[in-house]
Structure 1
């Protein structure tokens, strides 16, 4: 993809935003070099990297990268024998500290972050080198006294000499102040001097180092301090030599670890770069797109990333499934070019590992090339007209496209005779479509409004225009070509109706038919939208009613269960009381031992008969009911049976195979094994209708619920309904697919799970279950 395409689609502006999100200079450098990849595997890897960093941001955490600097040039200079400055050595220590902090942070993360944690493992902590540098250089980049014993001694002597020089000069400022321009001590040529008046030069004596602009003041070093100044200068030279020795030693240690330091900087740059991509996505309220190499683009609530949030209008775009080309028509300033650029920019962003501002569940294709002919490319230097410059660009595009290309045409065929331009536009589109490329084209030509109706793999679209307000709504309408609205607009602006009527009479029959067809389509669309809203409301009411019925049925079942259990307990107590009383009577009779001596085994038999007289009570207290043998060799549809595992009565609906049956218990249809059911009675001669099923369906519930792309409120309603269905179906565990996006759905699912009494626990999905884009709910 050449630079002209990237500039035409304003990808460079996205790069500038990305650079502003990077924290380090090395991260900004990587961001500035970002280019789209045409390898699907690489794109998926980059998207996975960005998604991992997004997971961290959703937890309101940030990878610490403070102090990381680009030390590669300094390290390389140390390898060839150069002596680094104190500031450069301090940058090395600071970068080592930043790398260690980032590694520790990612190592402690409990989330599944294989890519970022793998990068962190490559960071090697050089604690000894970091300590050696920090023990010699302070935070301001100065070599400290503690760097060596010799340096401490030298600096101590420097302070002594400075103190003695000042004492000597202070005596002059006090006793000879009339000879001085000011009673101060100053420095010239790194030596302490006094500002002496010109006429007292001989009286003070010594060396003149400088004079004022007027010549009235001489900056002199009195003879009394010359030797002390010389000793001070000698100590400062020794200090400089010792500092250079210390820095040379540190530079050598840095050179020894050149490979590790360079690799650390490379890894930290990539971590910062990945984090910057995630930050950019968060700022755009973007989502990670699923990547395919089938040429399919499917985005919902897509927003152009360079238009402010309070101005942008979201649109749904589908391309590459039922059709490979979209022809967008509509008035000027209606948003055709914005939509065109958005599709191209989304492609470049997705193929660069960036998330796109659209709803969760979006999907983007990987193209080998993106071609675009956008805007007025008239060249004054080459003396080319607008039409000629467009044609040169289009000829270049046609020479390189195939079925792995995305082609964007803005105002195709413009700049020449309308009739010829329209014919040329249709011919160009036919050629591009025949090669299997994905195409989005905008046009003003009315001839192209019917183009999508006469071609396979092509669909019309338009940007909506509100005739009442005379303003575009910027909504993209797939399947509806745009109307010119010229007559309506003219009428709204006050043009006489007689003039408009005469103009209508001059419009060709074909054009009028096309406009009437478009008007009919728009009316049908609006009616369909209204019908959809009404049907949606009715569906919601039905779902609420169904949920109320399910809750009422559950309450009834729970109440019946409680009453049954209480009756059992009451009967059990009565039987136990009777058994105890009978046992007492038997014992009394046995101890009496009257003339009718009874044998012991007769007492045992009597007790056994008493125990056997106890009725069989429900064994619901046990974890698993004791199954009783079936008395029927084969069950038939309509037979009344008992489901032993649930202690519920039901009806045989269908024999599935030799060992399995489909039965109906209450409102549920269940597939069970033969050993789990017991015959109550065979089907009677009069056919009985089974209980009605819910909504006329088989009440089949999947073990997963996909909420991606839904509004938050709708998603929570669907989740509550689904959990009720899953509980009725007896599922122990279900999977809620909410995607990763902004994290709002995942948070909502988590809060719902905490409040629901029948949800035992929730956890994020494992790698094989969908990762953080899925929440697993354990039911009870």
Structure 2
């Protein structure tokens, strides 16, 4: 990758921001080495790693990354026989503990939470289990680096002797400082330590009273720190024991260092994996801060950035733009005023490319694509060199010449103000020639320019498109919006006019502008007008679509609720009828029993087959229960007895409603229009009713235009009285055309004038059956409910 482009596009600033999210020196070291890759598979792997870390951040808030240390140097020193210090051993044990914590955390995510994390799972499996070494170190050394008594039995014994010797020395010295002459001879009645030996502070004039050894004196020289002769031998014994303590500690550290050396390979592997995990999560945390997403990576030179922001600009200040390149065209020429955002757009494309190839998420919306380029070249900014005596134009040309020598079809080339700094006519000619050269080699090119000659560059060359940064003439300021497909036009005359320049001066200036320039400016103005109209039409269509979707969902929900309620009532009725018949059957059995008894007792002329026939008639009177109330079990209705055709009227058994066949969507499945709803129904759930003469049915929903996409409510609040009544007229017609049985009109409470006017108008409407105020749960007197005939 071109180092100059990396510096020009400020990729190092991105690295510094990512560095702030590293949890350890291990991750920071990898971020420091972070660079774009030109290998597609490697870039995809890096992007997947970052995305997996982002998934963990989103679902669990983070990964426990505390306690990791860069112990690479410690391990290497232990390998060659060096002895590690207690502090270094603690760092080794802490890193092993951190790896265990991370391993358990990943296991829980994969096993208990059932998350698919193949990359983290693989890294977890790679880390060695070194718990015995961790325990051995922490049993001998505490977190602060102190060797514990429990490190060995010998060390415990030695330290007990040290404490005993110190106790005896203190007893002797405390007797000395509590003597009768102590207050006179001592500067202070305390015991202190100098050169690892216990001493007392003696005034200068009494230095010979206690004998012994002088170890230190105060800054004024008036106090001497003397080891009395009475404790010299005891201090000597204490020093010998402490030397033995140091020897035992050294032996313990040598043993632990040897244990580290034995696990050197696994430790180095674990440290490497921990650094990779920290690096993954640092990139993911950075992505969360800038609200970034994972792009789809390709090697076809396709760039499609949805609402891309410059990653180094504050989120609330950066203007998001849609940028696409590499499919219909491979070269973009951006024109527009200074400070309009051309250079920012250029850097956004280049920096997003470098970030993606380094495995970083991009500040774009989902669904964006980015290409992996073999090289990125950028000629941006003024690199004038006084020492080289180069002008602005010369410095740019030196850079451009170098780019032309190195670039190829796998390159992304960015030119800022191409051809600037020289005669406009010659500069424009050079710019066109350079663009042709780079474009013909198959590279992806984005260039900015001021030259009007380049405004028509994209109209007569395949694979080239013009673009511009928008300028608001009303506010005399750029909007920083990128408009691909529309070249920028000069706003000098409009700006001058708004700033107060006389019209006569402006007209005189226009007379010097060539016919061709006027034609180009007129064409650009027409394009801008068409674009704005297209944007407005798109927004209107989008609004209508959302209203239609909402209406469809509302009605479908109401129909489902209606059918469910109907089926529930049917079931209750059938249950009640069955209960009544059962009771009747029980009663009839009792009567038949009585009749048999009567026949036997009285010799009545009632034959057995007549009794059986009577029972059978009672059983036949009972209603048949069916689990699916909408379907009939009879052969005549369970299947369609003819070949269905579009336009046939059928009955949908599940809903019990009639509809029209529109088209066959699959084998044994049709698209059916039921009222204003269109749904897919299986042939087994339909019963043929009759054929229509018309080949294609025209249900209500298919003939409505955009004005008939109406909701179940009309909100008139804030409307003027006359406008409100006009809207009521149109809304009632639309609602009738949509087939609604009932609608609501919201007019608010206010003075009541609007409510009275609306209700008077509705009462006189020929299609209105009833008008009433809303109930408490419907909005009260602020809403009028209208029922149609």
Give your verdict on TM over 0.5: yes
Q: Could you tell me whether the CA contact under 8 Å between 1:72 and 1:262 is conserved in 2?
A: yes
Q: What is the aligned counterpart of 2:325 among 311, 319, 322?
A: 319
Shift of 1:40: 2.0
Q: Which residue of 1 aligns with 2:159?
A: 155
Instruction: Tell which deviates more after alignment, 77-86 or 303-312.
Output: 303-312
Shift of 1:333: 1.2
CA distance 1:309–1:599, change in 2 (3 Å): same
Instruction: Tell which deviates more after alignment, 437-446 or 594-603.
Output: 594-603
Q: Which residue of 2 aligns with 1:16?
A: 16
Q: Which residue of 2 aligns with 1:96?
A: 96
Query: Secondary structure of 1:408's match?
Result: strand
CA distance 1:579–1:422, change in 2 (3 Å): same
Shift of 1:278: 0.7
Shift of 1:68: 0.8
Q: Which residue of 2 aligns with 1:44?
A: 44
Q: Could you tell me whether the CA contact under 8 Å between 1:668 and 1:693 is conserved in 2?
A: no
Instruction: Tell which deviates more after alignment, 91-100 or 315-324.
Output: 315-324
Q: Which residue of 2 aligns with 1:4?
A: 4
Instruction: Tell which deviates more after alignment, 543-552 or 518-527.
Output: 543-552
Query: Secondary structure of 1:205's match?
Result: coil
Query: Secondary structure of 2:362's match?
Result: coil
Tell me if 1:346 matches 2:344.
no
CA distance in 2, matches of 1:491, 1:456: 38
Q: Could you tell me whether the CA contact under 8 Å between 1:367 and 1:404 is conserved in 2?
A: yes
Aligned CA-pair RMSD: 3.0
Q: Could you tell me whether the CA contact under 8 Å between 2:50 and 2:281 is conserved in 1?
A: yes
Any residues of structure 2 matched to 1:608-687 within 5 Å, and which?
608=616, 610-612=618-620, 617=624, 619-621=626-628, 626=633, 628=635, 634-637=642-645, 641=650, 660=668, 662=670, 664=672, 666=674, 667-670=677-680, 672-673=682-683, 677-679=686-688, 683=691
Query: Secondary structure of 2:406's match?
Result: coil
- CA deviations 1:125-153 (Å, max 9, x no partner) are 32221111111111211111221222122
Q: What is the aligned counterpart of 1:414 among 416, 420, 425?
A: 420
CA distance 1:662–1:471, change in 2 (3 Å): closer
Query: Secondary structure of 2:381's match?
Result: coil
Q: Could you tell me whether the CA contact under 8 Å between 1:654 and 1:661 is conserved in 2?
A: no
Shift of 1:123: 2.1
CA distance 1:254–1:309, change in 2 (3 Å): same
CA distance in 2, matches of 1:560, 1:98: 63
Q: Could you tell me whether the CA contact under 8 Å between 2:668 and 2:682 is conserved in 1?
A: yes
- CA deviations 1:508-551 (Å, max 9, x no partner) are 22222222222222222223323333333333333333334334
Tell me if 1:118 matches 2:118.
no
Shift of 1:619: 2.2
Q: Which residue of 2 aligns with 1:83?
A: 83
Q: Which residue of 1 aligns with 2:759?
A: none
Query: Secondary structure of 1:473's match?
Result: strand
Q: Could you tell me whether the CA contact under 8 Å between 1:333 and 1:472 is conserved in 2?
A: yes
Shift of 1:310: 2.7
- CA deviations 1:102-138 (Å, max 9, x no partner) are 1111111112212112211222232221111111111
CA distance in 2, matches of 1:596, 1:418: 129
Q: Which residue of 2 aligns with 1:235?
A: 241
Query: Secondary structure of 1:399's match?
Result: helix
Q: What is the aligned counterpart of 1:133 among 129, 132, 137?
A: 137
Shift of 1:497: 3.3
Q: Could you tell me whether the CA contact under 8 Å between 1:627 and 1:644 is conserved in 2?
A: no
Q: Could you tell me whether the CA contact under 8 Å between 1:398 and 1:432 is conserved in 2?
A: yes
Tell me if 1:538 matches 2:548.
no
Q: Which residue of 1 aligns with 2:746?
A: none
- CA deviations 1:311-330 (Å, max 9, x no partner) are 21111111122221211111
CA distance 1:547–1:189, change in 2 (3 Å): closer
CA distance in 1, matches of 2:257, 2:321: 58
Any residues of structure 2 matched to 1:354-753 within 5 Å, and which?
354-569=360-575, 571-573=577-579, 575-576=581-582, 579=585, 583=589, 585-593=591-599, 600-601=608-609, 603-608=611-616, 610-612=618-620, 617=624, 619-621=626-628, 626=633, 628=635, 634-637=642-645, 641=650, 660=668, 662=670, 664=672, 666=674, 667-670=677-680, 672-673=682-683, 677-679=686-688, 683=691, 690=697, 692=699, 694-695=701-702
Tell me if 1:143 matches 2:147.
yes
Query: Secondary structure of 1:349's match?
Result: helix
- CA deviations 1:232-291 (Å, max 9, x no partner) are 211111111111011111111111111111111111111111111110010001111122
Shift of 1:639: 5.4
Shift of 1:12: 0.5
CA distance in 2, matches of 1:192, 1:395: 80
CA distance 1:618–1:326, change in 2 (3 Å): farther
Point out where structure 1 has 5 or more consecutive residues left out of the alignment: 698-780
Q: Which residue of 1 aligns with 2:72?
A: 72
CA distance in 1, matches of 2:585, 2:650: 33
Q: Which residue of 1 aligns with 2:32?
A: 32
Shift of 1:669: 5.0
Q: Which residue of 1 aligns with 2:305?
A: 299
Instruction: Tell which deviates more after alignment, 492-501 or 345-354.
Output: 492-501
CA distance in 2, matches of 1:544, 1:622: 30
CA distance in 1, matches of 2:7, 2:431: 24
Query: Secondary structure of 2:412's match?
Result: strand
CA distance in 1, matches of 2:219, 2:38: 70
Shift of 1:583: 4.9
Query: Secondary structure of 2:333's match?
Result: strand
Query: Secondary structure of 2:307's match?
Result: strand
Q: Could you tell me whether the CA contact under 8 Å between 1:327 and 1:440 is conserved in 2?
A: yes
Instruction: Tell which deviates more after alignment, 574-583 or 301-310.
Output: 574-583
Q: Could you tell me whether the CA contact under 8 Å between 1:154 and 1:239 is conserved in 2?
A: yes
CA distance in 1, matches of 2:640, 2:543: 49
Query: Secondary structure of 1:361's match?
Result: coil
Query: Secondary structure of 1:135's match?
Result: helix
CA distance 1:55–1:429, change in 2 (3 Å): same
CA distance in 1, matches of 2:155, 2:148: 9
- CA deviations 1:741-772 (Å, max 9, x no partner) are xxxxxxxxxxxxxxxxxxxxxxxxxxxxxxxx
CA distance 1:96–1:632, change in 2 (3 Å): closer
CA distance in 2, matches of 1:611, 1:441: 90
Q: Could you tell me whether the CA contact under 8 Å between 1:648 and 1:665 is conserved in 2?
A: no
CA distance 1:132–1:562, change in 2 (3 Å): closer
CA distance 1:243–1:588, change in 2 (3 Å): same
Any residues of structure 2 matched to 1:754-765 within 5 Å, and which?
none
Q: Could you tell me whether the CA contact under 8 Å between 2:673 and 2:699 is conserved in 1?
A: no
Query: Secondary structure of 1:316's match?
Result: strand
TM-score calculated relative to the size of structure 2:
0.81
CA distance 1:262–1:693, change in 2 (3 Å): farther
CA distance in 1, matches of 2:437, 2:72: 52
User: How many residues are aligned here?
Assistant: 692
CA distance 1:182–1:654, change in 2 (3 Å): closer
CA distance in 1, matches of 2:636, 2:316: 71
Q: Could you tell me whether the CA contact under 8 Å between 2:106 and 2:120 is conserved in 1?
A: yes
